[in-house]
């Protein structure tokens, strides 16, 4: 049996240590650490509910071994919010009613935020490409697309956190 190691990471900007053995996934460690916004859907890369960003890049935390993120910055949904106001994506999801059961939402916002850092003028194709690893069984995606378009507009007009 491999040893348990203390893995130094930053979670949403704050330094932490995650205790993990070699075979433990980041998904399990983050939830044990209390990051319940990171959801466990399928544990095999299909649903995207467990998505977090490592150094700004969205990954499925169920397919990421905790040891491999040593020294990295991890961003979850919680990390996107400013202390005073919600991230434009989160605000737009609430305004557009893009959340039903909400299970898929943290992963979707994490994936969409990565795309919006590449382009603030996303076409529907860009949005579909960004969300191609996120399953939503409730909304039918229409309102999710609307929310992402709205957030892009807000960010283009300089309405984001700075």
Partner 1 sequence: MLSEFDLEMPSDLQASLSSLPYATPLGGGTNLLVDLRARREKSKRLVWLGNIQAFREIKINAQQVSIGGGTTLSDILHSPAMAEAAPSLFNAARVFGGQMVRNRATVAGNICSGSPAADTVPPLLSLDATICLTNAEGCRSVPLDQFYTGFKTNLRRQDELITGLSWLVPNSNTANLFYKLARRKGDAISVVGVAVTVTREGDRCTHARIALGSVGPTVFRAKDAEAILAGGLLSEKLINDAAQKAMEQSKPIDDLRASANYRRHSVRVLTRRLITQAWHSLPEKTAHT
Contacting positions for partner 1 (CB under 8 A): 1-2, 21-25, 28, 43-46, 48, 51, 57-60, 62-65, 67-68, 70, 111, 114-115, 128-134
Contacting residue, 46, 55, 124, 157, with ligand FAD by CB under 6 A: 46
Tokens 């935020």 label which residue? 113
Contacting residue, 37, 41, 115, 155, with ligand FES by CB under 6 A: 41
Residue 127 interacting partner from ligand FES, ligand FAD, partner 1, none (CB closer than 5 to 8 Å by kind): none
Residue 37 interacting partner from partner 1, ligand FAD, ligand FES, none (CB closer than 5 to 8 Å by kind): none
Give the footprint of ligand FAD on this chain (CB under 6 A).
Answer: 44-46
């Amino acid at each position: 049996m491999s040893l348990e190691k203390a893995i130094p990471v930053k979670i949403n900007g704050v330094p932490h240590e995650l205790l993990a053995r070699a075979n433990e996934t980041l998904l399990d460690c983050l939830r044990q650490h209390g990051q319940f916004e990171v959801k466990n859907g399928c544990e095999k890369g299909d649903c995207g509910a467990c998505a977090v960003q490592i150094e700004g890049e969205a990954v499925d935390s169920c397919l990421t071994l905790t040891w491999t993120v040593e020294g990295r910055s991890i961003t979850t949904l919680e990390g996107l919010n400013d202390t005073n106001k919600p991230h434009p994506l989160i605000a737009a999801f609430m305004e557009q009613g893009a959340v039903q059961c909400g299970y898929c939402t943290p992963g979707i916002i994490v994936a969409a935020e990565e795309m919006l850092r590449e382009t603030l003028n996303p076409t529907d194709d860009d949005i579909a490409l960004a969300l191609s690893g996120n399953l939503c069984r409730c909304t039918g995606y229409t309102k999710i697309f609307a929310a992402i378009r709205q957030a892009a507009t807000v960010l283009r007009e300089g309405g984001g956190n700075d």
